[in-house]
Structure 1
Amino acid sequence: MEAEWRDKKLYPLLGILLLSILLYLNFGNTNLISFPISRQPRLDFVSANSTHFIIVNGGGAAENQSAAYVNGWNSYWLMQESVWGGPSRSRVSKMLQRGAQMGLTVCRTWAFSDGNGPNALQISPGVFNERVFRGLDYVIVEARKHGIRLVLSLVNNLNNFGGKAQYVRWAQEAGINVSSSSDSFFSHPMIKDYYKAYVKAILSRKNSLSGVKYSDEPAIFAWELMNEPRCESSSSAPILQAWITEMAAFVKSLDQKHLVTVGLEGFYGLNTTKGPEVNPGEWAASLGSDFVQNSAIENIDFASVHAYPDSWIPHADLEEKTRYLSQWVDSHISDGDQVLKKPILFTEVGSLVYVNNQSIADKDILLKTMYDKIYESAKKRQAGAGALIWQLLVEGVEEYGDRFSFIAWDKPSTYKLILRQSCRLQSIFPKSSQNRKLSKDPCSGQLP
């Protein structure tokens, strides 16, 4: 009887248990087994005080507050790569670990993927793929483990990963009489409700690994309303302004702990006097966005700016690109100090990567120009609050790369430039860096 019982009951039960564990570890898509994390490293929330980011270390007393200037990076692919578990998640962990080893403290990544693709987070309005959500859970837990804070972007202006065009298609498929123009994303009440429902689902999500709601998670640096919002026509500019106002207030109604930014490229609008002299071309003022007007909205805590001199003025030589980038940065920092009274974070800083040494040198010159401007701003306590390089990869995720992506440790000169920027910012504001508490200090022995 004992042998028969083992054959018929015990072994099948063990087999089911083993299969459940394997499914969890490889796909993260089973509710049979869960391994919650009981303890996580402590991180403090980041807030904004006029033109500075502020970290309150362990309490609200003024003496515990320290200004924070950011050196960070973009890896938009973290959630996508985390979906399948196993080796894929190890690459996500490696990217966050290597970022911390360069003294980087903030990573910007996508918290969206809309449509019917195999790795879509939002399959249809308000319907989510739990397996993909658990991938995002993992990204957040690993970021906190390595002392990294995340800027999470909530939708794409572009068609990649669905974007605003997918929201418009959903409305059309539901039989709603909506214009085929993607600008209707910003104006149609039903589409705005779709977006709000998505935002609510993200902010109210309880992390399956840590048990912490996203709205209570200090490893989240900020919510970004949209990646690079643009309109097809400049006549939609008031609609975009109204959309930002409405959505920023909605996010704040759900979450008072985190910062909110727009996700702008930083172009000046048609009615801005400095636009023609600072924008990279006349085309930049015709996209419906306006850096000053959009960023001045009450519930926007800091202004976001991008910088792509290689793309925006492609026929210019290196000297002209460097001069343009310098003016671009100065103009926005000045706006932060004198007009907006808010921090300015350059959330995408990209330059082309080629294989020949001269092009690597060009990239380093442009990056150094940006870094020097941020460093000078930090020394003077000005509004230029940091820069996030676009974008970093690790071995095995080259499929996510573009003309601006690279593996930092494969480019020694660029790697040293990134680390040096981290260390000299840390030398000014040592209390604002919590990496020292979490791992070996990457700046130990480094000259600022």
Structure 2
Amino acid sequence: MRLSISCLFASFACAVLADAVGRVSTRGVTPQKREVPAGYVTTSGAGFELDGEPFYFVGTNAFWLPLLITEDDVDATFQTMAGAGIKVARTWAFNAINATQLPDVLSTNLTYYQVWNNSDWTLNEGPQGLQRLDYVVSAAEKYGIRLILTFGYGGMELYIYHILGNHATHDEFYTNPTIIASYQSYAQSIVERYKSSSAVFAWELMNEARCAGDSLPSGPNCVPGSETLTTWYQLQSDFVRSLDPYHMITTGGEGQFYWAVPDTYWYNGTLVSDFNFNGEAGEDFEASLSLPNIDFGTYHLYPQTWYPELDYPGSNFSVEDWGLGWIEAHANTAAYVGKPLLIEEFGVTGLDNKSSIYPVWYNSPSGIQPWQFGELNLTEDGGNRLIQYTDQIYQGASPNDGFTFYINQTSVWDIFTAAAAVQSYRSG
């Protein structure tokens, strides 16, 4: 059964309907409004609020901002964002390296915050380290843009390799006491450094936490129903709240569900249980959103990447329609729990796909953040620089992973700026 698209705006009635068809369990919380200093964004029921007024926004992702070398390029990027009406930008507050990489990192001027050596790391607070993130935060303040600062992602496996070795499973990151203490030490370094800044929109515990990693498999203790990630989210959100009573906290999760009756699809004559709904990834969106110190929900949306076996020329799979169903499911759950919701990452490849699908997906109760923002005319190293891995500045353009959109792609850019204007109007 498919829910009506009218449920996109997350009425309580839609949540009840979703529960009736098995999409939302009967777990609910009553979020308490938290008093915060002037200039801090907070939550008010199922929405965001700034200084007593509703705060709706179009945001974006720009993980590469702290990796820029020159302050001029940081300023230019924020100027473009502000001109487009962007209110929130999400970026990485981490970049870790092994000590053996240090000579190459120094020679390429890569931004790095942690240097791992044996089973511990040292913090780089110097001009090639946190001082660059300092400037990003101060520039965000100057241009009136708020930041979601994420504490980690794939780099979590450095914790595992250095503390437990190569034979551990990925999910031990969430349960091993030594790793948890190390993660918390780093998170505390970031929180303590920026917790007095109104430019911080929210702290984010991890980007796309899953049972399995890029290199390491999951273990038997991280399976559907184990709630390993939910327990970790609670522990870490409680810890961050103990450090900072004012800024919001969120998970950074992709938003996978753990439904009693998961969605299925046919592939090669076999009925497949959908990993986005069966708990296989380790997430339980409703359970994590219900945690007392998780202030709002996040979810990501990449049907082309998630279902390549279904998305091919001539297939009956619709990227647009699948995305609408995913949006509905999260809107219904957030409405039932009573907290705000952010489409934190979404993307499709191909200019025509972006132009036709994004306007349909842009409907959102509170906030939307496409992946990812692109800046032109960057000047560092003459506009050509390999940053890290395959990410590069090329002919003045920030990293392009196929999802990136730039100001000269007017068919997409105009959709983005029009949505920002609507959200600004809704904010009053």
Class of the TM-score when normalised by the shorter of the 2 chains: 0.7 to 0.9
* Other structure's SS at 1:390 match: coil
* Alpha-carbon distance change, 223 to 281 in structure 1, aligned in 2, over 3 angstroms: farther
Question: How many residue pairs are counted as aligned between the two chains?
Answer: 338
Tell me what 2:234 maps to.
245
- The Cα offsets for residues 295-348 of structure 1, whole Å up to 9 and x where unpaired, read as 21111000001011221233436971111111111111111112x211110110
Contact 2:262–2:273 (Cα < 8 Å) also in 1: no
* Alpha-carbon distance change, 72 to 318 in structure 1, aligned in 2, over 3 angstroms: farther
Tell me what 2:425 maps to.
427
Hey, which of these two has a bigger chunk of helix by percent?
A: 1
Contact 1:68–1:385 (Cα < 8 Å) also in 2: yes
* Other structure's SS at 1:54 match: strand
The ranges of structure 1 where at least 4 consecutive aligned residues each deviate by more than 4 angstroms after the TM superposition are 274-277
* Alpha-carbon distance change, 363 to 319 in structure 1, aligned in 2, over 3 angstroms: farther
Give the structure-2-normalised TM-score.
0.75
Structure showing greater relative contact order (alpha-carbon pairs closer than 8 Å, 6 or more residues apart): 2
Q: State whether structure 2 residue 373 is matched by structure 1 residue 392.
A: yes
| Paired residue type of 2:195 | S
Tell me what 1:80 maps to.
67
Tell me what 2:210 maps to.
230
1:144, CA displacement in angstroms? Answer: 1.1
1:275, CA displacement in angstroms? Answer: 4.9
In structure 2, how many angstroms separate the alpha carbons of the residues matched to 1:181 and 1:312?
A: 23
| Paired residue type of 1:80 | L
Q: Which has the larger radius of gyration?
A: 1
Alignment RMSD? 2.2
Contact 2:405–2:412 (Cα < 8 Å) also in 1: no
Tell me what 1:188 maps to.
176
Contact 1:352–1:404 (Cα < 8 Å) also in 2: yes
Tell me what 1:97 maps to.
79
In structure 2, how many angstroms separate the alpha carbons of the residues matched to 1:406 and 1:138?
A: 24
* Alpha-carbon distance change, 133 to 283 in structure 1, aligned in 2, over 3 angstroms: same
**Residues 44-443 of structure 1 mapped to structure 2, 5 A cutoff:** 44-56=39-51, 65-81=52-68, 84=69, 88-116=70-98, 117=101, 118=105, 119-124=111-116, 125-130=120-125, 131=127, 132-156=129-153, 158=154, 163-172=155-164, 180-205=168-193, 214-232=194-212, 233=218, 235-236=221-222, 237-269=226-258, 271-273=259-261, 275-276=263-264, 282-284=274-276, 285=278, 286-314=280-308, 315-316=310-311, 320-338=318-336, 340-353=337-350, 360-371=351-362, 373-374=363-364, 384-395=365-376, 396=383, 397-398=393-394, 400-407=399-406, 409-430=407-428
Give the structure-1-normalised TM-score.
0.71
* Other structure's SS at 1:216 match: coil
Contact 1:313–1:321 (Cα < 8 Å) also in 2: no
In structure 1, how many angstroms separate the alpha carbons of the residues matched to 2:89 and 2:67?
A: 15
* Other structure's SS at 1:305 match: strand
Contact 1:216–1:257 (Cα < 8 Å) also in 2: no
In structure 2, how many angstroms separate the alpha carbons of the residues matched to 1:275 and 1:251?
A: 34
In structure 2, how many angstroms separate the alpha carbons of the residues matched to 1:254 and 1:343?
A: 23
**Residues 38-49 of structure 1 mapped to structure 2, 5 A cutoff:** 44-49=39-44
* Alpha-carbon distance change, 363 to 43 in structure 1, aligned in 2, over 3 angstroms: farther
1:400, CA displacement in angstroms? Answer: 2.9
Q: Which blocks of at least 5 consecutive residues in structure 2 are unaligned?
A: 1-36, 106-110, 213-217, 266-271, 377-382, 384-392
- The Cα offsets for residues 86-132 of structure 1, whole Å up to 9 and x where unpaired, read as xx332222111111101110000000111234232111345111221
In structure 1, how many angstroms separate the alpha carbons of the residues matched to 2:112 and 2:62?
A: 17
| Paired residue type of 1:334 | N
| Paired residue type of 1:306 | H
Task: Give % identity.
Answer: 28
| Paired residue type of 1:111 | A
